[in-house]
Structure 1
Amino acid sequence: MTALLASAALLIGGAGYAASRKAPADPARAIHETLIVLDTHFDTPANLGRPGWSIMDRHATVTDGDQVDYPRMVQGGVDGGFFAIYTPSGPRTPVGDRAARDFGIQRAVQIREMAAKHSDVFALALTADDAAKAVAAHKRFVFLSMENGYPFEGDLTLMRTFRGLGVTMMGLVHFKNNDLADSATDTPEWHGLSPKGKEAVAEANKLGVVIDVSHASDDVLRQTVMLSSAPIILSHSGMRAIHNHPRNVSDEDAKLVAAKGGVIQINAYSGYMVDPPAASAARDAAMKELMASYEKADTMTVAERRALIARRKAIETQFPAPRANFDMFMQHLLHAIKVVGIDHVGISGDFDGGGGLDGLEDITAYPKVTAALLKAGYSPADIGKIWGGNALRVLRAAQSLADPAVLPKVPVTN
């Protein structure tokens, strides 16, 4: 059974499973339905605390701003993904660290509660094999990840706490530097990893946690590749050769990641794919005021959220800005495959976290990617690697190198 599940990490090839799904008339969609399709970075957990919000309801991107929910996972043929515990950067003080710790734990519990409450359609995933098991049981799998190491920067033993809550991927840093590492979008402070950041890499290896270097500086990426005994991942990044932005990875660094067995997951974040609009003091002021309101977005009612989205659309209409499109996304994806090979590339839309572009607004558009890859000449087996096989391989490799003596027991609730 184990061998069968391992092979299913690329394709669900059993005739029984294929027959259990209604065969689509579109040949590309039919192939899409045979693959394990996962996204390595959903920011959807930010919605879990909102009054009246449920992942079981279908939402609309144009009015709600939401891009991921169960009905659209079904429509988009998305089998699961990594649901992120995103913690905004804050004061690097004992008080700030404790607040970040508590926030991170609360968010992890919310994700677990979501999976447990809807265990008829969701399954908590702790290993790569769990993803295949969930798909075989006709459920969507839920991995936990962390975006920003702020919740554990003050006490690295908290990494074991979060591993015990089911976290299998951790990013060390976000938009601003922290006590662990430099950010790609901040002034260098540590010139890579801090001494504590290097300890965090070693601890992640012991725990079998995949290290995510999206948002990290180039120096952090290179040092992590050198120090980590396990492959690493960029859970949602682009290619700098296609668009020169510090959040995107250079060809040289992408090759370093691939040489260690890692994966670059191409995202769909317009701001990292097109140049920003011309400077406008009025637009900047309007957006600054709007973004202040977003600080309470995860506790807003549906009506309050829709009003906020309407305000944003009004600003965007008044001050139009260039927006990336599906063809640009494919340029990043195809370039990454060309540079590092089919075994080291994956996909994440960065949905519910600012992702989305013309032609790829939410997860319902994912079958279009499969169709485009088929048109580009890639086989179903190749596309299966991109959609899930590569990321699951990295997870499996990281967990195979874990130290059993330090692994916490992770309770499974479904």
Structure 2
Amino acid sequence: MKTLATLLAATALASCSSANDKAPASAEPLHSRLLTLDTHLDSPMNFSRAGWSFADRHELATDLSQLDIPRMKDGNLDGGFFAIYTDQGPLTAKGYADALAHARKRSDEIDRMIVDNSDVIGAARTAGDARRLNREGKLIAFKSMENSYPLGEDLSLLKEFYDKGVRLAGPVHGLNNQFADSATDTPKWNGLSPFGKQWVAEMNRLGIVIDASHSSDATFDQLLELSKYPILLSHSSLRSAHDHPRNLDEGRLKKLAEKGGAMCISTIYMSEMNMSPERARLFGEYERIGELSPAEQADLVRRWRELDKTEQMWAADFEDYMKMVLRAIKVGGVDHICFGADWDGGGGLKGIEDISALSKVTERLKQAGYSDADLEKMWSGNILRVLAAQGK
């Protein structure tokens, strides 16, 4: 999830489930036969909305959500990491307590969504869980933590969230915190804080994948150096596509690949964000959509879509996205690229507005000459390999 302050300031196994886990090749298009995962789904922000259900189909014309179970099936997205996102607040006892309460509540909401839809989706903790659920014909729900700020000054809380199912976590979000410098803030620690280095060790001990998205360059460098296991960037774009500190430069992508990690390509910050005063006001309401009545939600959508008619949030489109994806593959290699578009967190572009458009990515990659095995790696194999390599 992108907070208003951030927006203004700015994924050991080498392959995923085989095509044999689904219908024979002659029975359905390639994309629907691949095990497909996305490493950053901000949809949990919708799970507390009055009158809203993840099991229902929602249309972009009348809802801001880009992801639900029917559209996951439309786009043949088999699952991914549902984010426990927490806005960055003050580094105080109260700030930490409020953040922890929020993160626990969001984790519980993800659990409740899974229980409410247990006939079609299941909780995953391991790469093996993902493959098993896929064989059973169920969608896959991993948990991630976007921003470790809720841990406060107590690293033992990482074990609590590990026990709750978290298998991917980043140290920081849009502002510096007690663990690290953010890509979109003025450096405070010049990378990781001393406490942040302890966080890395505890992440490695527990077997939680480190997520370097939102980290400053120096933080990324130190995460890569200190981690005993490969790391991921769950939702990042290339700096060569758009020069923004939130994006990863090609030299660091090569270093990530050399250490066995993977970068999951996002649709955000491929251009400057058009954050007009009106869009900023709407974002302020969007960030608390779970507190709005159904009528207030509908009014927010109406005003958002009306603004879309005169100004777009991003200048990039699907063609720009695929150009960046192809460049990232060329630089990092098919063993080190994956997908994390940032659905429901600011992602989506013209031509790839919601999850139902995913097959277009596969079609374009096939046209570019990539093999079915390459596509399996990029859609889930690389993510599951990194997950399985965490020493657990």
Partner of 2:8: none
**In structure 1, what is the Cα distance between the partners aligned to 2:280 and 2:240?**
30
Partner of 2:234: 235
Deviation of the 1:62 alpha carbon: 2.6
Partner of 1:368: 360
Deviation of the 1:319 alpha carbon: 4.5
For residue 352 of structure 1, what is the amino acid of its counterpart?
D
Deviation of the 1:313 alpha carbon: 2.9
**Mind listing any 5+ residue stretches in structure 1 that lack a counterpart?**
25-29, 278-282, 403-414
Distance 1:239 1:320, change over 3 A: closer
Partner of 2:270: 273
Contact persistence 1:181–1:192 (CA under 8 A):
yes
Partner of 1:252: 251
Contact persistence 1:84–1:147 (CA under 8 A):
yes
Distance 1:326 1:295, change over 3 A: closer
Partner of 2:97: 98
Q: How many residues align?
A: 381
Deviation of the 1:6 alpha carbon: 6.3
Contact persistence 1:182–1:220 (CA under 8 A):
yes
Residue 342 (str. 1) matches residue 334 (str. 2): yes
Q: Deviations over 1:140-171 (max 9, x none)?
A: 01000000111113211110110010000001
**In structure 1, what is the Cα distance between the partners aligned to 2:47 and 2:182?**
27
For residue 16 of structure 2, what is the amino acid of its counterpart?
A
Could you state the TM-score of these two structures normalised by the residue count of structure 2? 0.93
Contact persistence 1:10–1:385 (CA under 8 A):
no
For residue 58 of structure 2, what is the amino acid of its counterpart?
H
**In structure 2, what is the Cα distance between the partners aligned to 1:227 and 1:7?**
23
Partner of 2:60: 61
Partner of 2:27: 23
Q: Does the residue aligned with 1:61 lie in a helix, a strand or coil?
A: coil
Contact persistence 2:13–2:384 (CA under 8 A):
no
Alignment of 1:60-79 (within 5 A): 60-79=59-78
Contact persistence 1:64–1:302 (CA under 8 A):
no
Distance 1:249 1:111, change over 3 A: same
Alignment of 1:3-402 (within 5 A): 9-14=16-21, 17-19=22-24, 23-24=27-28, 30-269=29-268, 272-276=269-273, 284-319=276-311, 323-398=315-390, 401-402=391-392
Q: Does the residue aligned with 2:80 lie in a helix, a strand or coil?
A: strand
CA RMSD in angstroms, aligned pairs only: 1.8
Q: Deviations over 1:192-233 (max 9, x none)?
A: 001111110100000000000101100000000000001000
Deviation of the 1:322 alpha carbon: 5.2
Contact persistence 1:8–1:132 (CA under 8 A):
no
- Name which structure has the greater RCO, CA cutoff 8 Å, separation 6+: 2
Contact persistence 2:14–2:385 (CA under 8 A):
no
Contact persistence 1:126–1:166 (CA under 8 A):
yes
Deviation of the 1:387 alpha carbon: 0.5
Deviation of the 1:116 alpha carbon: 1.6
For residue 295 of structure 2, what is the amino acid of its counterpart?
A
Deviation of the 1:324 alpha carbon: 1.3
Structure of larger gyration radius: 1
Q: Does the residue aligned with 1:62 lie in a helix, a strand or coil?
A: coil
**Mind listing any 5+ residue stretches in structure 2 that lack a counterpart?**
1-11
For residue 205 of structure 2, what is the amino acid of its counterpart?
K
Q: Deviations over 1:229-283 (max 9, x none)?
A: 01000000011112111111001111111111100000112xx112345xxxxx7
Distance 1:257 1:76, change over 3 A: same
Percent sequence identity over aligned pairs: 45
For residue 110 of structure 2, what is the amino acid of its counterpart?
I
**In structure 2, what is the Cα distance between the partners aligned to 1:87 and 1:242?**
28
For residue 23 of structure 1, what is the amino acid of its counterpart?
A
Deviation of the 1:33 alpha carbon: 1.6
Deviation of the 1:22 alpha carbon: 9.4
**In structure 2, what is the Cα distance between the partners aligned to 1:186 and 1:317?**
32
**In structure 1, what is the Cα distance between the partners aligned to 2:152 and 2:353?**
34
Q: Does the residue aligned with 1:51 lie in a helix, a strand or coil?
A: coil
For residue 232 of structure 2, what is the amino acid of its counterpart?
I
